[in-house]
Amino acid sequence: MPAVEMVEFWRGGFRESVHRGNAVVCNARGEVVRAWGDIDKVVLPRSSAKMVQALPLVESGAADAAGLGTEHLALACASHSGAAIHTSRVARWLADLGLSDADLRCGPQEPEDRAALKHLLCADERPCQLHNNCSGKHSGFLTLTKYMGAGPEYIDPGHLVQSAVRATWEEVTGETSPGFGIDGCSAPNFAATLTGVARAMAGFAAAREGMGTRQSAQARLVAAMMSHPDLVAGEGRACTELMRALRGAGAVKTGAEGFFVAILPERQLGVAVKIEDGTTRASECAIAAILVALGVLERHHPEVTRFLDPRVLSRRGLDTGQMQPVPGVFD
């Protein structure tokens, strides 16, 4: 089945743009309960997979051996904005490991946080790897690397860390991965079908502490994300604001190129969304629409409206149009 029209953009009475996509909701048994478009499409989940990439860190015992708390685990799942609350915590995490920015392999990145960027510009300083939105994930990789006694090139697809990530990915998706792409942070990103990704998220949603090593690790990561939405992304970002609006009912995570996932423990459901043209604004709108349709987000919550159907203003503040879900698609 081809991708379906999900999100549209109206200006002056004209339908100016439309974004097509695919989405699927799975239950705890891995069964599809709702679907839109091609749910068997092979996808790269990008940063939406970070909680899976962090599973070996917790399951192995490396997280506990290093004394990691919920803030560390939230950062391991984060695509943060590079604000001081993010970089200071990652720097301290690395220092506690006896490591530094030089041990990261994610590369430098300008922070999305305006205050952090202003500080760098005013100080005539360049961003470092701590500012990379994936530096928390990479600190998790380094923690596991040290615990395993493995070599420093932890982003190599054949490294022990990435072998553990791939094995875990295949177990939680219930699929043999057909391969990987290299993410923007230089780490491998393993592929699966869209349904496989939703199945993995449903597994996280159904996991409960005390029900074995895998479930306990999954539950801890989800709880960390929900406890620290500000660390998972940043102020004004969809992941942070939608998790706040969910009020403990779930965790959501964006990924590059129009990807979004949701983990809903109370409903034991997992959601995966992929926008065909890779547009973030459309994936944010689509995930919000699905969560409203599932009854876990309040339709008229201010932060939900901001991503679901915002009015579009000109630079002078004139109301010029609106982005919204395509009528009837998510009902």
Would residue 91 count as lying in a domain?
Answer: yes
Residue 139 within any structural domain of the chain: yes
Residue 40's contacts (CB-CB under 8 Å, 6 or more residues apart) are 193, 194, 195
DSSP alpha helices (H): ranges in the chain?
Answer: 50-53, 55-59, 62-65, 70-76, 84-96, 114-122, 135-148, 160-173, 194-206, 213-227, 229-232, 238-246, 280-293, 302-308
Mean pLDDT of 76-90: 98
**Burial track 166-182 (b if 16+ CB lie within 10 A, e otherwise):** bebbbebbebebeebee
pLDDT of residue 281: 97
Q: Does residue 127 lie in a domain region?
A: yes
* Residue pLDDT, tens place only, 59-81: 999 999 999 999 999 999 999 99
CA atoms within 13 A on the CB side of 269: 20
What's the average model confidence in pLDDT over 11-39? 97
- Predicted confidence band of residue 11 (pLDDT cuts 50, 70, 90): very high
In percent, the amount of the chain with pLDDT more than 90 equals: 100
- Whether residue 331 lies inside any domain: the answer is no
CATH of the domain at 319: 3.40.710
Quick one: pLDDT band at residue 1, thresholds 50, 70, 90? confident
Per residue in 179-224, pLDDT tens? 999 999 999 999 999 999 999 999 999 999 999 999 999 999 999 9
Confidence at residue 62, expressed as pLDDT on a 0 to 100 scale:
98
Q: Which residues face 259 on adjacent strands?
A: 255, 274
Q: Is the pLDDT of residue 53 over 90?
A: yes
Work out how many domains the chain is built from and give that number: 1
- pLDDT recorded at residue 289: 98
280 within a domain of the structure (yes/no): yes
Q: What is the pLDDT of residue 235?
A: 97
For range 305-329, the mean pLDDT? 96
Structural domain for 286, as ranges: 4-325
Does some domain include residue 330? no
- What pLDDT digit, counting tens, does each position of 111-139 carry? 999 999 999 999 999 999 999 999 999 99
pLDDT at 6: 98
Specify if 41 maps to a domain: yes
Percent of the chain residues past pLDDT 70, beyond the cut? 100
Within a domain: 77: yes
Distances (CA, A) of 95 to 27, 66, 100, 155: 41, 12, 6, 20
pTM of the entire structure?
0.97
pLDDT at residue number 223: 98
